[in-house]
Amino acid sequence: MKKRKDGRYAKKISLPDGTQKFVYGKSIAEVNQKERCMLKEFEQGIKLGDNTTVGEWAQEWFKVYKSSLRAKTKLNYMNAYNNHIFPYLSSMPLKAVRPIDIQKVMGEIADKSEDLQRKVLNTMGQIFKTAKVNGLIGSNPTEGIKITPHATDERIKALTIEQQDILMKSVTEPRARVFCALCLYAGLRKSEALGLVWSDIKGSELSVRRSITFVKNQPDENHELKSKSAYRTIPIVDKLKEVLDSAPKTNFSIITNTTGGQITLTSFRRMWKYVSDAVPFHVHPHMLRHTYATNLYHAGVDLKTAQHLLGHSDIKMTANIYTHVNKGTVKAASLKLNDFLSGSQNGSQNKKKA
């Protein structure tokens, strides 16, 4: 180890593969620390001396790992990175990023929706995971980082049986009626209902094979479903069969625009505005799918079967819905018990007066 004219210490290190590197520091302790880090990085297979920045790797990651995704999915990744990650991490070397830096990014969006937080954290997680796999870093700084949960949304997430009846009686426009029925009685996602074609219906079953999402106003050319589990066959219940049998079959697709052509985002929004204006309560497309899941629970359908019918890749997603429904059932039971006890007390008092 030598002390340079500029006051720093320098030390030549011989790596196990025979190559030699120099490390520098303001003190002997700093030099020794850098030597230990360099040897550790060598053992982990990390490219020594690599100063690739987060921004540089993010571009490479997106090009190599995400180029084949559908346009909307790619746009989600781009928005998460450009709007929430780039301002804080892009110029930092990958090796320099620590968990506290990731936490700072998450802190900036802690007041945003949980969905947005998950997208940002997932994007960072994938960027650093692939950097680690490629030998650019030794550890993933996003591990152990969590989103900031918000208070439970108390808005209604599922329709009651009465509201379901009101919805299907009030929505008479053929396209809107079929769309609502597919989501409410088969649990289809919005994109899956829009992607359904008449040939997917055979006998008493329908097969989910494609989806339609939108890039700006036009349908994305990529019609793949979001996961392998989303490809599924669902039995057609009587109420759905009634709606499908009465629906006009003027096109290859079941849900079309007003003239019978391919649906656009604008035409869908107009159709849904008709639905929301037709009923005296708040409703959105995903609420119908959630209602289907709730109906499965009340019908006594087991968790594994419900997972298949809903097309969930992770049974935890199904369990979360069932747990939510169960909590609602317990709360309803408590109210019924309270009413019963109150009624019993009134009845006892009336008997005493008599």
- Per residue in 67-90, pLDDT tens? 888 888 888 999 999 999 999 999
Q: Is there a single domain that holds both residue 168 and residue 248?
A: yes
Q: Is there a single domain that holds both residue 193 and residue 269?
A: yes
For residue 180, tell me if it sits in a domain: yes
The pLDDT value given to residue 352: 44
Instruction: Provide the domain count of the chain.
Output: 3
End position of a domain, from candidates 133, 153, 179? 133
The pLDDT value given to residue 330: 65
- Per residue in 138-197, pLDDT tens? 889 999 999 998 865 545 588 999 999 999 999 999 999 999 999 999 999 999 999 999
Q: Is there a single domain that holds both residue 217 and residue 93?
A: no
For residue 11, tell me if it sits in a domain: yes
Q: Is there a single domain that holds both residue 119 and residue 209?
A: no
Q: What does each C-alpha distance from 38 to 1, 33, 34, 103, 183 come to in angstroms?
A: 16, 9, 6, 26, 57
The pLDDT value given to residue 38: 66
For residue 218, tell me if it sits in a domain: yes
The pLDDT value given to residue 348: 45
Q: Is there a single domain that holds both residue 83 and residue 20?
A: no
Q: Is there a single domain that holds both residue 39 and residue 76?
A: no
Short-list 61, 1, 53, 56, CA closest to 31: 1
Please, which residues have CB within 8 angstroms of residue 189's CB and are 6 or more apart in sequence? 183, 211, 226, 230, 286, 289, 311
Question: How many residues in the chain?
Answer: 354
Q: Is there a single domain that holds both residue 94 and residue 172?
A: no
The pLDDT value given to residue 9: 83
Q: Is there a single domain that holds both residue 167 and residue 306?
A: yes
Q: CA 157 to CA 294: how far, in whole Å?
A: 10
For residue 107, tell me if it sits in a domain: yes
Tokens of 342: 């109150």
Q: Is there a single domain that holds both residue 181 and residue 252?
A: yes
Q: What does each C-alpha distance from 159 to 155, 168, 238 come to in angstroms?
A: 11, 12, 19
Q: Is there a single domain that holds both residue 230 and residue 288?
A: yes
Q: What is the model's pTM?
A: 0.66
Q: CA 297 to CA 205: how far, in whole Å?
A: 21
For residue 129, tell me if it sits in a domain: yes
Per-10-residue mean pLDDT of the chain, 354 residues long, equals 82 72 80 75 59 92 89 90 96 94 96 92 96 87 93 69 96 96 97 96 95 90 88 96 93 91 94 96 94 92 94 90 72 70 56 43
In eight-state DSSP terms, residue 82 is I
The Cβ of residue 36 has, within 10 Å, a number of other Cβ atoms equal to 11
What CA dihedral angle connects 227, 233, 239 and 243, to 10 degrees? 80
Q: Is there a single domain that holds both residue 35 and residue 70?
A: no
Is the CA virtual torsion 97, 98, 103, 108 positive or negative? negative
The pLDDT value given to residue 153: 53
Q: Is there a single domain that holds both residue 289 and residue 182?
A: yes
The strand pair at 205-208 and 2-3 is best described as unpaired
The pLDDT value given to residue 237: 96
For residue 354, tell me if it sits in a domain: no
The pLDDT value given to residue 29: 87
Structural domain range at position 32? 2-43
